[in-house]
């Protein structure tokens, strides 16, 4: 962890700390940091950021932080910490807004947690900036170029979201994180999203 660039390291540590704290100190206060649907009295504006530092289980935390470690450090080393932070939290915010729209349309009363929106933004950025970089899947262990990995993952998320498969996973929030990341990159490049390559 010491060899990680500063912003990636800080985000990773914050997520780990906020996973441990509710399990040892005042757990009843942490649900207020989750992203509650707009139609519930528990919603608060600050939740569009705080939800991204909470995780439902150790495996949820592990996979998000593993992806942050794998892709975040390379992007931060390329961009620098300021640009990395702007990009990451733009993806987090876009994911939150997308999830709020979806939960309003579906009438859901369940909260959302996790750094996945920010992580999916990083995945998209990695595929755009390092498209030919080989990525080894965990299950099954198949290597593929970054652009293909992210394209397949994005299509899978869309299918799972539309078919309402894998209940309890915010698939559209993941796609919202990718959309937010794409818009930021398009803005940086001075192009419209439709021309983004």
Domain map of the chain by residue range? 6-195
Least confident of 10-19, 54-63, 148-157, 161-170: 161-170
For the segment 25-83, what is each residue's pLDDT rounded down to a tens digit?
Answer: 877 778 889 999 999 999 999 999 999 999 989 999 999 999 999 899 999 999 999 99
CATH classification code of 6-195: 1.20.1540.10
Is the pLDDT confidence value at 196 over 60?
A: no
Nearest residue to 90 via CA among 184, 193, 196: 184
* C-beta separation of 149 from 135 below 8 A: yes
List, in order, residues 6 or more apart from 117 with CB less than 8 Å away.
52, 91, 92, 94, 95, 96, 98, 99, 170, 173, 174, 176, 177, 180
**Res 195 pLDDT > 50:** no
Confidence of residue 1 (pLDDT cuts 50, 70, 90): low
- The pLDDT value recorded for residue 137 is 67
For residue 5, the model assigns a pLDDT of 94
The pLDDT score that the predictor gives to residue 146 is 84
CB 120 within 8 A of CB 93: no
Q: Considering the chain, what is the average pLDDT of its residues?
A: 88
């Amino acid at each position: 962890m010491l060899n990680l660039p500063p912003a990636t390291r800080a985000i990773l540590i914050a997520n780990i700390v906020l996973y441990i704290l509710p399990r040892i100190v005042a757990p009843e206060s942490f649900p207020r940091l989750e992203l509650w649907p707009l139609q519930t009295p528990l919603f608060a504006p600050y939740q569009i950021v705080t939800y991204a530092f909470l995780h439902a289980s150790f495996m949820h935390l592990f996979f998000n932080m593993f992806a942050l470690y794998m892709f975040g450090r390379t992007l931060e080393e390329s961009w620098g910490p300021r640009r990395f932070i702007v990009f990451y939290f733009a993806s987090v915010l876009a994911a939150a807004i997308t999830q709020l729209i979806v939960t309003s349309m579906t009438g859901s009363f369940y909260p959302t947690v996790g750094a996945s929106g920010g992580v999916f933004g990083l995945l998209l950025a990695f595929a755009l900036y390092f498209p030919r970089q080989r990525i080894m899947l965990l299950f099954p262990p198949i290597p593929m170029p970054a652009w293909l990995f992210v394209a397949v993952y994005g299509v899978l998320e869309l299918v799972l979201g539309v078919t309402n498969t894998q209940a309890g996973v915010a698939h559209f929030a993941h796609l919202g994180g990718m959309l937010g990341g794409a818009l930021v990159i398009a803005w940086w490049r001075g192009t419209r999203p439709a021309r983004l390559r």
